[in-house]
Amino acid sequence: MLNSKSGKQFLLPIIVLFIIVLGGIFFLKPKITNIINNRKELTGDRKILADLTTKVSLLEGLSKPELAEKADLLLKVLPSEKDVARTMSVLKQVALNNELIISELTIPDVGEIASGSSVPPKSSSKNEILPSLAVKLTVLGAREKIVNFLAQVEQTAPLARVSNLDISQKNEGLDEAMIDINSYYFPLPKTLNKTEQAVVSVTTQEETVFDKLDNFSFIGENSRETATSSALPSGEKTDLFNY
Amino acid sequence: MSNEIDFLKGQKGASSAKTNFFRSLKVGSIVILLTYFLFIAAVFSYWFFLGKQLSDISQQIVTQKNKVNNLKEVESLQVVLKQKLSILNKFFLSQKGQSFNNLLSYISQISAQIKIKDLKMGKDKINLSGSSPSIPILEKFLQELKNDKSLTLFSQITLSSLDRQEDGNYFFNLILEVKK
């Protein structure tokens, strides 16, 4: 009798232990695992939210018309693809402005000019920072005009640099110059960054590029439109080879 | 007066100790159970609180992402601007040495009395062929090439040939190594 009575006394602690063990296995353990995962996720989400908030405030602080104007200027200075027609047009105009006669203008290796050509050529030199269109030009004129021409070519959009020069005297006061010019371009990025990725601000050093572009001339834009509009025939063409 | 003798005194002592033990066990079990339930309630509340926070933050992320999507055009312009400025900055910083027109105008300036027949300019070297009507003029030209300004432009100047021609002119070839 005593034993059964003391046995019953142990029943409550056993039940309590049973409840604790079952509760731990079926409720506490999964919930605690869930809490740990949720905390990790919360930390990650908080960081994403902070980045997005910073990005939004940065983008909202930018002026779209001002950005568009600057981007337009930079695209004229450094086009996103090989603009063969514009390069030739600009060189011809600069030569004309300096009273030089172009006896030869060649672009030896244009490559693709379709949309796929926005990829920089594989053969571009490792020393060159920018891919370029190589132009070979022969001009005739006074030496000082040739010197002016060289200066103006490097200060006229699109960005160009003289890589080689060969001047020989033809007659008194008349020189012939064979000039190799690199006309630079740089493709646009193919895709935008991911939404969560931060916008990288322009540094102060990079802003100084605009100072260097202050002296740049932009010619050929209007004249190209005029030339194009005047060259286009009205009505149907019966002769493919003549306007 | 009657005296009582308790023959069960020892047994009573033993059973009261046992009773106390079981009572403590019973109370302890209840206390442990109540504490356990409180702990479960706390865990559950914290889990619920975290879930709500996650939901709020996810909602805020969606709102911010929508704002970013609405500003996609501004972002594209900024990306283009950054890309172009960055590469142009690198380009301008890499431009070392003198430009062709600076070198050419300097040579033209110091060779006023010299007839330059041929001038080949590369990135590192200039080959100059010309003629001088007399030795003193040629000498003056070569002296000019040794002045301070020339020393800043050229690292080496070599007179590779000098010939007196039939007409009395002196034909020469110069190689100038351009300083980087």
pLDDT tens digits for range A22-47: 999 999 999 999 999 999 999 999 99
What integer is the mean pLDDT of A222-240? 39
Torsion, CA A132, CA A138, CA A142, CA A147, rounded to 10: 10
Take residue A240 and report the two structure tokens written for it.
């493919």
User: Quick one: average pLDDT of A55-77?
Assistant: 93
Contact B78 A62 (CB under 8 A): yes
Per-residue pLDDT of A120-139, as tens digits, reads: 544 445 567 899 999 999 99
* Strand spans (E) along chain A: 101-106, 132-141, 160-171, 174-184
pLDDT at B153: 85
Residue-wise pLDDT tens for chain B (180 aa)? 567 776 666 566 667 888 888 888 899 999 999 999 999 999 999 999 999 999 999 999 999 999 999 999 999 999 999 999 999 999 999 887 778 888 888 888 888 888 888 999 988 889 999 999 988 998 888 888 888 888 888 888 899 999 998 888 899 999 999 887
pLDDT digits (tens, 9 = 90+) for B35-86: 999 999 999 999 999 999 999 999 999 999 999 999 999 999 999 999 999 9
Residues A166, A182: Cα–Cα separation, whole Å: 15
Confidence tier at A223 by pLDDT (50, 70, 90): very low
Q: Is the pLDDT of residue A231 over 80?
A: no
Would you state the pLDDT for residue A229? 32
Mutate to test the interface with B, among A37, A55, A171 (most CBs of B within 10 A): A55
Shortest distance between the Cα of A204 and any Cα of chain B, in A, equals 11
pLDDT for residue B170: 92
CA distance B133 to B168: 7
- Burial tier of B93 (Cβ tally within 10 Å: 0-12, 13-18, 19+): exposed
Cβ–Cβ < 8 Å for B100, B176:
no
| Mean pLDDT computed over A144-165 | 92
With a CB cutoff of 8 Å and minimum separation 6, the contacts of A60 are B71
pLDDT of residue A117: 46
Residue A230: band (very low, low, confident or very high) from pLDDT cuts 50, 70, 90:
very low
Residues of B in contact with A62 (CB under 8 A): 74, 77-78
Terminal alpha carbon distance of chain B: 132
pLDDT of residue A110: 67
**Residue B61, token pair as written in the block:** 């992320």
Write down the pLDDT at residue B14: 64
Q: Would you state the pLDDT for residue A227?
A: 27
The model's pLDDT over A172-184, given as tens digits with 9 standing for 90+, comes to: 889 999 999 999 9
H/E element, B51: helix B9-70
**pLDDT reading at A166 higher than 90:** yes
DSSP states of B75-101: HHHHHHHHHHHHHHHHHHHH--S--HH
Here the ipTM equals 0.76
Q: Rounded to 10 degrees, what is the CA torsion of A15, A20, A25, A31?
A: 140
Any idea which residue has 């926070």 for tokens? B53
pLDDT at res. A52: 95
- Three-state secondary-structure class, residue A184: strand
Nearest to A83 by CA among A133, A135, A136, A153: A133
Q: A170 pLDDT exceeds 70?
A: yes
| End-to-end C-alpha distance for chain A, whole angstroms | 125
At A200, the pLDDT band (50, 70, 90 cuts) reads: confident
Residue B25 to residue A77, Cβ atoms within 8 A: no
Contact check, Cβ <8 Å, A74/B88 = yes
The pLDDT assigned to B12 comes to 60
Cα distance between residue A143 and residue A98, in whole Å: 11
Nearest Cα of chain B lies from the Cα of A217 at a distance, in angstroms, of 17
In chain B, residues with a C-beta closer than 8 Å to the C-beta of A176 are: none
Q: How far apart are CA B141 and CA B139, in angstroms?
A: 5
> For B69, phi and psi rounded to 5 degrees?
-60, -35
Reply yes or no on whether the pLDDT at A220 is more than 90: no
Q: Chain A contact for B56, CB < 8 A?
A: no
